[in-house]
């Protein structure tokens, strides 16, 4: 069974048993919505939509491109602030460029000749997930950057290595190993955001709005009701309407 499907099934089990409720709440998804989306990803992984035919054949995998991209765009639209949306888009571009740059430097890409110890697409997914978290920071932004970043990378590879006119070629966007990479990048980015964000909250005594006013004032460097201007300024709690889920 492909790695991507295994990861999706594991995530579905966590959602079903309620272990992912906190993360989903901060991403503004219910358990039922998450299970439906995961089911669509699994079912969609078996379907490819033809875009072009003939000597140049291009197909798009439903589970590897369409469903993850639609979910990322939905979360992008549900972002708490305009800055979070902007940060998620910029993080997606940075993630795509980081993965593409690593592919060029290591010569591990589809047209490279070196054989790495780790499957290159897994490596790209791990690097993409880490970069997505570092630049996205919040759960939503990290997931958007992780999934869209890998999708943009594949589109970039396709655009740069477009076959010469008349040359036969076949391209399956989101299929095969790229399905695994997109799924893994999304899980890694959100996992890092949750792990590091949860650790940070425990060390600082909880989310900003749960702390005493004097502590918030000391951390913000000003009045408790003011804003320090960064991601961790006092504001709506994570998961509340208008709140930006901090990573």
Strand order in the sheet with 56-61: 48-52, 56-61, 169-173
Q: Is residue 245 part of a domain?
A: no
User: Residues 5-40: pLDDT tens digits?
Assistant: 899 999 999 999 988 888 898 888 999 999 999 999
pTM (two decimals): 0.74
Q: Is residue 206 part of a domain?
A: yes
Q: How many percent of the chain have pLDDT more than 90?
A: 31
Q: Is residue 63 part of a domain?
A: yes
Q: Is residue 246 part of a domain?
A: no
CB neighbour burial string for 135-145, b if at least 16 within 10 angstroms, e if fewer: bbbbbbbbbbb
Residue 229: which pLDDT band, with cuts at 50, 70 and 90? very low
Average pLDDT over residues 138-153: 91
Look-up of token digits 């961790």 = 232
The β-bridge partners of 50 are 59
Q: Is residue 57 part of a domain?
A: yes
Q: Is residue 226 part of a domain?
A: no
User: Residues 72-122: pLDDT tens digits?
Assistant: 999 998 887 888 899 999 999 999 999 888 887 766 544 444 545 556 777
Give the count of domains, the chain: 1
Q: Is residue 239 part of a domain?
A: no
């Amino acid at each position: 069974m492909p790695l991507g499907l295994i990861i999706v099934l594991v995530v579905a089990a966590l959602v079903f048993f309620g272990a992912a409720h906190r993360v989903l709440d901060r991403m503004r998804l219910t358990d039922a919505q998450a299970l439906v989306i995961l089911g669509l990803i699994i079912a969609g992984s078996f379907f490819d939509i033809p875009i072009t035919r003939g000597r140049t054949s291009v197909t798009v995998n439903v589970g590897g491109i369409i469903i993850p991209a639609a979910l990322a765009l939905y979360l992008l639209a549900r972002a708490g602030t305009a800055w979070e949306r902007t940060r998620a888009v910029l993080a997606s571009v940075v993630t795509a460029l980081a993965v593409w740059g690593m592919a060029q430097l290591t010569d591990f890409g589809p047209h490279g000749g070196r054989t790495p110890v780790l499957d290159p697409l897994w490596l790209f997914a791990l690097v993409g997930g880490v970069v997505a978290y570092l630049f996205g920071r919040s759960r939503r932004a990290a997931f958007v950057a992780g999934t869209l970043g890998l999708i943009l990378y594949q589109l970039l590879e396709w655009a740069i290595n477009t076959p010469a006119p008349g040359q036969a070629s076949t391209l399956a966007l989101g299929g095969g190993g790229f399905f695994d990479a997109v799924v893994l990048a999304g899980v890694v980015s959100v996992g890092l955001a949750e792990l590091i964000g949860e650790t940070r909250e425990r060390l600082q005594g909880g989310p900003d709005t749960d702390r005493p006013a004097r502590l918030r004032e000391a951390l913000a460097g000003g009045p408790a009701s003011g804003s320090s201007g960064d991601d961790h300024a006092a504001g709506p709690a994570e998961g509340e309407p208008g709140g930006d889920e901090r990573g």
